[in-house]
Every structure is written in structure tokens, then in C-alpha cells.
Amino acid sequence: MHFSQEFLALAVRKGVLRFGEFKTKAGRLSPYFFNSALFDDGESFAKLCAYYAQAIRHTGIAVDTLFGPAYKGIPLVAGTAMQLAAQGTNLPFCFNRKEAKDHGEGGILVGAPLKGRVLVLDDVISAGTSVRESVEIIRASGAELAGVVIALDRMEHGTGEKSAVQEVRDTFGVPVIAVATLEDLMRFLADSPQLADSLVAVRRYRETYGVN
């Protein structure tokens, strides 16, 4: 089983990925809901970070530093750095504060210096705002964006014809690596007889809002 399928099975078991009818921020009725905050215990979160590590290693992307934007990126970048080290790739990591610290070491960055090719780790890309903020921080440190890693690529268009992931790819000219995509999710549903009804609904949603 490919790691994306294992990841989706874990997400369903933890209630991170649910099926039904859910209203999105854009006002769409989505047949599924994904909330990565529900990877909320040591075992499931360690597995989540191991999948991030596998996705990074699978692409073979050249990276010097890992960066986690506050707040969800903070535990992700620390956990993934630990999993990568356990898999034989030891990388420095860094994250930002929402507010600059005016005492002690000061500044907005915590951890290793932002150097070289920086890989940003976040849970999803909904509007790309977090990525743009991260790029500003990375460039201000004299480093460059190498790519972005997320848990799930919903592969649906935003206000225009492109998805938020495609917009990030095109704007910054870097890969966006997803542990799982909507296509992976449809394969997962096709292999789960008890979720057959959800596959029909997700397929219909993809036809309406999906991007190629």
C-alpha cells in the first residue's frame, strides 16, 4: 500500500477525515471534511510526521532547512525533522513567532538559522496566505523557497480556474508536495466498499469544482 493510502486510512480512523455534507469557507457543500488538528495524540501525530518525511524523501527534493509557519507548522516541522532523522536524513529546522520577541534573543524566528533551500511544512493550502508570509520571512533571511509540503491537496479551484496549490506553484515556481491528493482519496474510497456512497459524492464534487 502506498503511504498516501495508509495516511488516509489513519485520517479516517482518527476522525480527521469525515464524510457527509460540510459547508466550506467558500460556501460550497463538500462531501468530505479534513481537520488535521485531530491528529491530537502522540501515536497518530508521530505517524502523520512520518508520512510527511516519506513524502519529502519520495520526491528527492534538495533541501537545506525545514520551516514551519506558526501555528500549525510548528509541531509539524519539529515532528517531521525527528522522523527524517530517524530515516537517515538530519536537517535543521526553524519556525516563526506570530509576534516578535523584544527581550532575550529577540526576533520572530526560533530554531536553526534560515539558510539555503528552505522547505515549508503546513497542513493545507487554502488561500496561500501562510505560504506568502513564509516566503517573505525566508527571503528576508537571504534564503530561498525550495517547496511546500502539505497533508492534503483538495485539487479544487478557488475564485479563478486554478487551485490554491496551483497558484502557489505558479507564483513561486516551486513544487507543492502533498502526502495525499483528492485523486488518492478517490482511489482510497474505491477500495473501501463501505464508503461507496461517499465515492459517488466526491466524484460529483470533483467534476464541479476540480482542477486538472
Strand pairing of 93-101 and 176-181? unpaired
Q: What pLDDT, on the 0 to 100 scale, is given for residue 92?
A: 98
Instruction: List C-alpha distances in Å: 156 to 24, 70, 180, 205.
Output: 12, 25, 14, 9
Q: Categorize the per-residue pLDDT at 1 as very low, low, confident or very high, splitting at 50, 70 and 90.
A: very low
User: 11-64 pLDDT, tens per residue?
Assistant: 999 999 999 999 987 788 999 999 999 999 999 999 999 999 999 999 999 999
Of residues 98 and 198, which shows the higher confidence score? 198
Give me the domains of the chain, ranges plus CATH numbers: 3-209 (3.40.50.2020)
Higher pLDDT, 75 or 129: 75
Catalytic residues: 101, 103
What mean pLDDT do residues 89-101 have?
A: 87
Under the banding of pLDDT at 50, 70 and 90, the label for residue 129 is confident
β-bridge pairing 107-111 and 93-101: antiparallel
Question: Helices 42-59 and 73-86 sit at what angle, rounded to 10 degrees?
Answer: 70
User: What's the pTM?
Assistant: 0.92
pLDDT in tens, 138-187: 999 999 999 999 999 999 988 788 998 999 999 999 999 999 999 999 99
